[in-house]
Amino acid sequence: MPQLDFKEISQGNVANGDQDTFELFAREFLEMIGYQILSGPDRGSDGGRDIIVQEMRTGVGGTTYIKWLVSCKHKAHSGTSVVLADEQNILDRVTTHGCHGFIGFYSTVPASSLTKMLEGFKARHLNFDFQILDREKIEGILLRTGPGLGLAQRFFPVSYTKWDSSNRDIDLAMLRVGMPQPVAYKIPGDDKIYTLEEIMEKYPQGNQFIFNPWLPLNLILSNNILGITKIMGKDGLEDIPPDYLERMTESMNANIEHMRQQMYKQKREEQSADQRRRAKERSRTKKNSRK
């Protein structure tokens, strides 16, 4: 269920002034998730690297620094996978730049042959590791974090706006109150049947929590991508009862009436205090006049 259109980022092989945008996006994305940028993208011969980043790992034995060579491949416009011919001499490139691992940052997905080759390298070389950040992983991180949403809005303005307007439409979520809720999901091209919990974990970017000020004990979970509107109860997610909106309206009216009574009481107290103040002033004036 892709939400962001990676074709909004200009192609890297078209010299239009924006051909570096995907590498710049990769740099900001990697920095956002915690990597230190040692070498960013630039034009010209890069010796088989786009970006070099450093990861800091802290453990019982102290702090370890790991350098990663990042290769950016933007093939969303063609829709093809990243194949072996696109990633040649990976081990030599990693070694040449003094890195410990390889990160493939792709706007599509890697071909199975490329993944198998990387797995083979990892099995045969103890000091080699790799990660693949494909479009689904990138999108998932962007749409479920605050900084990620800002980055998505900058680099995918059209599809982000479309996603945002649908995903955050509270009226749409509340229209599902009292209606039957999905209990299982089937993804096209995938034979597995996903439970509600599994599909929410797989696509967390649609989850939005609504705090209801009139019924504060009921935190509402809305996922307009998956068509879910539920209450966060003590025992987990619960269906919203059909009379929920009526109860909310009653609670709202009761709260409004309480506030009205409080304002009326405060006004009466202020009037009484003002009357007492005026009475004291009149009494003081009479005393002074007798003198």
Kindly report, residue by residue over 176-192, the tens digit of the pLDDT. Answer: 888 888 889 988 778 89
Q: How far apart are CA 68 and CA 231, in angstroms?
A: 43
Q: How far apart are CA 29 and CA 23, in angstroms?
A: 10
Reported confidence tier of residue 202, pLDDT bands at 50, 70, 90 = confident
pLDDT band of 26, cuts 50, 70, 90: very high
pTM: 0.65
Residue-wise pLDDT tens digits, 226-253: 888 988 877 778 888 888 777 778 877 8
Provide the token pair at 171. Answer: 């009226």
Instruction: Say yes or no to pLDDT of 13 above 50.
Output: yes
- Ramachandran region, residue 236 (left: φ > 0; alpha: ψ -120 to 50; beta: rest): left
* Annotated domain spans of the chain: 6-142, 168-242
Instruction: CATH number for 6-142: choose from 3.20.80.10, 3.30.460.80, 3.40.1350.10, 1.10.3720.10.
Output: 3.40.1350.10
**C-alpha to C-alpha distance for 139 and 243, rounded to whole angstroms:** 37
When pLDDT is averaged across residues 16-30 and rounded to a whole number, the result is 89
Handedness of CA 43, 47, 49, 54 (dihedral sign): negative
Residue pair 137/109 in contact by the 8 Å Cβ criterion: no
Highest average pLDDT, of 94-103, 165-174, 216-225, comes from 94-103
| Angle of CA points 121, 6, 188, to nearest 5° | 80
Question: Under DSSP, is residue 135 helix (H, G, I), strand (E, B) or coil?
Answer: helix
pLDDT at site 47: 47
Q: pLDDT at residue 291 above 70?
A: no
What's the mean per-residue pLDDT of the chain? Answer: 86
Cα–Cα distances (Å) from 113 to 50, 118, 119, 126, 231, in that order, read 22, 9, 10, 21, 45
What would the mean pLDDT of 18-31 be, rounded to a whole number?
92
Alpha carbon distance, N-terminus to C-terminus of the chain: 90
